[in-house]
Structure 1
Amino acid sequence: MSVSDKTAVITGAGSKRGIGRATAHTLAAAGWNVAILDLDETSAKDAAHEVAERNGVQAVGVGCDITDETSVQNALAVLDDSMPPVGALVNNAGITSPTPFLEVTGEEWDRLFAVNVRGAFNVTRRIAPGMAERGFGRIVFLSSVSAERGGGVFGGVGYSAAKAAELGFTRALARELGPRGLTVNAVAPGLIDTDITGGALEGERKTQLLAGIPVGRNGNVADVADLITYLCREESGYITGATYDVNGGAHIH
């Protein structure tokens, strides 16, 4: 069995400096065809074009609001018609928020859960049945060190709670879908240099943050993309329900 006859779906991979786009490139380099779903359709198409050109695989970019079931249905219908069957799903799309709990509104709380949790549900619920039918699937959730250590990095309580929900989602889904040939794992990045953290990784704040990281540097998107790609391999079929920390030792538990 080869991954070259399968498609990997990555949500939220439009951002140029994000983990999602780096993962799309790394999966494509390993032979996967790639489908990029992003709220920003232009970015999704741009990323797909870049991936296809650089890696010589099939790639498609589709505009999709993962919080909306109809939008997800329509986006994935495009793949049904034009791409090989889906063999991997990377639930990467997410939003963060540093708002302190005593100031957070119900609306902001709901938005965090809508994108990070309900969005992952909408896409996974649509893709998992086909994987189960074909007897093969690799699902990876992007959680966060904030979920494990209780915030304290960039995300406040709402973000930490939503990312912790993804860990429970991962573990229960792994248990349920394991007999059908699917593995489900989570990756919990620490301080990674992306557009989200970019502004915070300056001057004194950067020195302060790096002081707590044993390996002495912030992470980069390749550190996370390589691990996700490893978990999507056919050979990684005995790894499931696990959470992988990519934080340079900042949180050891």
Structure 2
Amino acid sequence: MENELKLALIQSSLVWENPEKNREHFSKKLDSINGEVDLVILPEMFTTAFTMTPWNIAKEEGEETVKWMQKEAGRKKMALIGSMVYFADGHYYNRLWFVEPDGKSIFYDKRHTFTLAGEDKIYNKGEKRIVINFKGFRICPLICYDLRFPVWARNTEDYDVLIYVANWPQPRINAWDALLKARAIENMAYVIGVNRTGTDNTGHSYPGHSTVNNVFGEPIVFSKEEKILYATLDKKHISEAREKLKFLEDQDHFSLKG
């Protein structure tokens, strides 16, 4: 239906540093999706889990995963989004790819690398945001730790949807829940968070809590279980809320340097 965007959020455990097995796993997940879906959202580093030893993975695996995303997006006629370990220009990146059914692809490199885990010492950080036009919706994709920085997510480009893919651990899950709601309320946009489940090889546990919040920060779907969540975004919900509550017009204007 026009002005609607149908989503599937794949909340799943991940196999440690094994892109091939993870791709096989997510191919099966894609085959199990019910009904028509426009966009499928995968977790952060969905082919390896949150590894700080990317040299254990063949450098060409990033390109292989993008090819896999293009193949699956075309096969299922759904766009795919998720981040991965990606080697380019002599550096490692935590790189998110948005791949459309026709193969068109665009990437975003994680801006805020997670210093607590030493991600800033292993992966180059990104320098710019992207906004994707897809099915009549303007989508801004970000990655995990970016969630803690509201200025980076600030809605200055009239986006409709803010997406966070993550490996967000159990001890700080309360912050995940609260900040996703806050980003929705302050930006008057749908905010989606897709987290993984299970335990990784470093002993960190991940509790899911994937969700879709409407522009008022109210959850449309939420789960702690390993499952596929479904939601439909309505453009009318955004326009009516912004017309009635003109909060975005009252925000302060400033620019960032460096």
TM range (shorter): 0.3 to 0.5
TM-score norm. by structure 2 comes to 0.39
Which one has a larger percent helix, Structure 1 or Structure 2?
1
The TM-score, its normalising length taken from structure 1, stands at 0.39
